[in-house]
Structure 1
Amino acid sequence: MPKVGMEPIRRRQLILATMQAIDEAGLADATVARIARHAGVSAGIISHYFGGKDGLMEATMRQILTDLRRAVSERRAEIASNDVRSHLHAVIDGNFDRSQVSQSVSKTWLAFWASSMHRTPLERLQKVNDRRLVSNLSAIFRRVMPLVEARDAAAGLAALIDGLWLRGALDPEGLDVERARRLAYEYVEYQLAQHAADVSTPAADAQASDMTHPVPAEHA
């Protein structure tokens, strides 16, 4: 992990250089020397701040996960709590945000998933991220369906998001974000259709707001 007091600009510079090196040569050949060359610094700087390549890889994944959480939370921030559909769409859209689907980030994600099976710090990050996604989706689905069904729906949607992302990342032409979102939306519609009477729609929310408030008062 980077030492306390490290300049944020330098930290970001080294993380971007790590992704560039992985994009260029793959994880195995993304050596400290190659990363340092991309960042325009000495290899000793990386060892000083991160303790080596493993520490820098962990910091890189933490930054990507932070970007993912921000992409989702910013989308959900202004959505009414009872608008289940929009909250689910926000989670989907956040996972297919630009910060998660660029070529360099996609290759880093793939390297991270493979490495997490062998490196304990990365394994912990993977488990936390997976649990967060399923937990968030389950909590949203729980607003309109029983707990067991909500957990199943959440597990299914999480698997679909990961699967669509993975197939897109491995496709030479890259991920078709609009198609991936559409397919995930269709899954949401299928699940919500089973509990249609309890699902709030934006139009219904707006109508109710107009009736109760004469003066009119985004994807975690």
Structure 2
Amino acid sequence: MPKLGMEPLRRRALIDATIAAIGDAGTLDVTMSDIAGRAGVSSALAFHYFRGKDDLLLATMRHILAELGRDARTALKNAKTPRARVSAMLEVNFSAKQFRPEIIAAWLAFYVEAQRAEPMRRLLRVYASRLHSNLMSGLSALLPRDQAVMTAEGVAALIDGLYIRRALKQGEPDAASAIALVEDYLSLKLP
């Protein structure tokens, strides 16, 4: 007899195990069996909750994006000026919760999978649209519209590029230098 209320806990354990497994491997070369073992459940149960590794990766990225979204909303709510809104987005994207090796590895796997799987591509478009919108919430008050759009694209490209670059390095991510690099770019673009 299944225990009531266990499904959300097991799903979350599988998502956390997916992040850890991808982080350790640095790629998607992990199996459902490996992930299930890390989560402390059977492979059969993992397949019961998620039809396969693609579904589990999609759920994992939705989880990561949901956390990023919650943190972004809180940061934007607390930002008092348009310029502070832009900096708040950098702080969120390079926060200790997001800019850590296992999450970075999951993002890299996500970027790769988005090239072949339409559900992943759709989720990536949602992420890109939200990031653009959040950046524009500050930039549109600081720059003419066309310049704000170009600057938001530049900042988004730097964020994504720094995640990819970080995924290819060893050691702990350096959020402060990543933020400083993007802030330097912004100093060239903002009056």
Q: TM-score, normalised by structure 1?
A: 0.79
- Residue 131 of structure 1 deviates from its aligned partner by 1.6
- Residue 25 of structure 1 deviates from its aligned partner by 2.9
* Structure 1, unaligned runs of 5 or more: 194-220
1:23–1:107: 8 Å Cα contact kept in structure 2? Answer: yes
- Residue 27 of structure 1 deviates from its aligned partner by 4.1
Question: Which structure has the larger Rg over C-alpha atoms?
Answer: 1
* Structure 2, unaligned runs of 5 or more: none
**Number of equivalenced pairs:** 187
1:168 corresponds, among 163, 166, 169, to 166
What are the within-5 Å matches in structure 2 for residues 1-220 of structure 1? 7-80=7-80, 83-193=81-191
Q: Which one-letter code corresponds to 1:153 in the other structure?
A: T
2:100–2:173: 8 Å Cα contact kept in structure 1? Answer: no
- Residue 28 of structure 1 deviates from its aligned partner by 4.0
Q: RMSD across aligned C-alpha pairs, in angstroms?
A: 1.6
- Residue 71 of structure 1 deviates from its aligned partner by 2.1
Q: TM-score, normalised by structure 2?
A: 0.91
- Residue 112 of structure 1 deviates from its aligned partner by 0.8
Q: Which one-letter code corresponds to 1:106 in the other structure?
A: I
Percentage identity across aligned positions?
A: 40
What's the CA shift string for 1:39-58, capped at 9, x where partnerless? 11011111111112111110
